[in-house]
Amino acid sequence: MNRILILCCIFFAGFQEVGGQPGWPIFRGNQQLTGASSQQLPDAPKLLSSFPTGDDIKASPVISGQTIFCGSTDGKMYAVGFDGKQKWSFTSGNAIEASALLINGSVIFGSLDGWFFSLDEKTGKQLWKYKTDNQIMGSANWYKMGSKIRLLVGSYDYNLHAVDFAKGDSIWRYESDNYINGAPAIFEKYAVFGGCDGFVHLVNIETGKVFKKIRLETYIASSPMIEGHLAYVGDYEGQFFCLDLEGGKVLWTFKEPEKNLPFIASPALSGNYIIIGNQNRFLYCLDKNTGNVVWKIKTSNRIESSSVIANGKVITGTMDGILYIHDLKTGKELWKYEIGSPLLGNPAVGGGKIVVGAGDGRIYIFG
């Protein structure tokens, strides 16, 4: 009986971690980019602290334990405690708009001059750097092959790069037909990503060869979200798609009949509900099976920040700096806070806290 209990404890401890890191260690929370967490959040969060960087923040923060990691357009990656105090900073040499990836004690991120970095999580010391041929706007993801880890990151050099986690060596490059803006999601052994070429690509992570290309209408600026063999993603003409990755086809499409403004934000999923914000100021809740609107709420301004779902609460930022919490099932507004500066990166949740970076260059911690 004791042995069974020990094994169960080990299993659940591992299940609650992503890449060996508790909290919110990756853009959108997990490898499938679902933007959802089981974190318990207070009903009326209060601003606990904030930390100033040297310029505006477009990146999404990530969290490991009690530490926040977030890049700034001042060219630095910061490690900051929940108390708002800096632990370390690293100067990359150019603006950082991509969210970091935390895995096995390393902080992985790209910058706008095309460098891809690995830092020691505790000290901020550079472990290695890898060069792409144009800017990196999206977060990296990871895939384990045997005992080795491959990192996957897109670049404006049109390529999805597979990079060795241990040494930063190039494994392969897959060339698309235009810029890659978002992060790749993981479906089985495939990297799934959209780009400015209007396709959703499925690339075999082991070989670097394309498995399928699904054509959509136009540019895809956001990152896809995966559940099972289905992917969900919006495009620049205001259409939102459910894709069958195995069949390589579109299952349903949602389109707002009144306005065709872009989906810059990435979707979040919890249960049967998909949450997605649009530049038309509306926050939508869609039925994942049909694409029908469950509810829609008009917010104060454009939504380019991807919403996060935490235990039935939807956290969303707007371009005029309002941070909202809505009820997942009904859309009822539960709370809001006026930061007053654009919110471009999505919130992160961890340790009962909400963390977001803003256009005024500050990292805000609510709890």
Contact 365, 84 (CB under 8 A): yes
* 4 — pLDDT class (breaks 50, 70, 90): very low
29 vs 101: CA distance, rounded Å: 10
Q: Is residue 344 part of a domain?
A: yes
- CA-CA distance, 167 to 293, in Å (whole number)? 47
1 belongs to a structural domain: no
pLDDT, tens digit, 9 for 90 and up, residues 93-126:
999 999 999 999 999 999 999 999 999 999 999 9
Q: What is the mean pLDDT of residues 278-302?
A: 97
Q: Is the pLDDT of residue 151 over 60?
A: yes
Structure tokens at 39: 């974190």
Residue 13 falls inside a structural domain: no
Q: Is residue 184 part of a domain?
A: yes
Residue 11 falls within a domain, yes or no?
A: no
| Domain range enclosing 125 | 22-366
Nearest CA to 353 out of 9, 59, 83 is that of 83
Kindly state whether residue 16 falls inside one of the protein's structural domains.
no
Residue 181 counted as domain residue? yes
Q: What is the pTM of this model?
A: 0.93
Domain CATH code at residue 193: 2.130.10.10
* Alpha-carbon gap, residue 48 to 255, rounded angstroms: 39
Instruction: Categorize the per-residue pLDDT at 299 as very low, low, confident or very high, splitting at 50, 70 and 90.
Output: very high
> What is the C-alpha to C-alpha distance for residues 192 and 178, in angstroms, rounded to an integer?
15
Nearest C-alpha neighbor of 241 from the set 276, 270, 272: 276
Give the integer Cα–Cα distance in Å for 281 and 165: 39
Placement of tokens 């290309």 in the chain: 213
Which one, of 111, 23, 9, 110, lies nearest residue 64 by Cα?
23
Which position has the token pair 């060869």? 209
Each residue's pLDDT tens digit, 208-264: 999 999 999 789 999 999 999 999 999 999 999 999 999 999 999 999 887 889 999
Q: Tell me, what's the pLDDT at 10?
A: 36
Residues 156-170 pLDDT 10s: 999 999 999 999 999
Given this model, what pLDDT does residue 113 score? 97
The reported pLDDT for the residue numbered 79 is 98
Q: Tokens 């895809």 map to which residue? A: 220
pLDDT, average across residues 323-350: 97
What is residue 260's predicted lDDT score, i.e. its pLDDT? Answer: 85
Distances (CA, A) of 63 to 57, 66, 281, 365: 16, 7, 28, 11
Token representation of residue 52: 């100033």
Report pLDDT for 145.
Answer: 92
Write out pLDDT tens, residues 168-180.
Answer: 999 999 999 999 9
Specify whether the CB–CB gap between 36 and 268 falls below 8 A: yes
Residue 255 within any structural domain of the chain: yes
Read off the pLDDT of residues 7-37 as tens digits, 9 standing for 90 and up.
443 333 333 333 333 589 999 999 999 999 9
**How many structural domains comprise the chain?**
1
Say whether pLDDT at 302 is over 60: yes
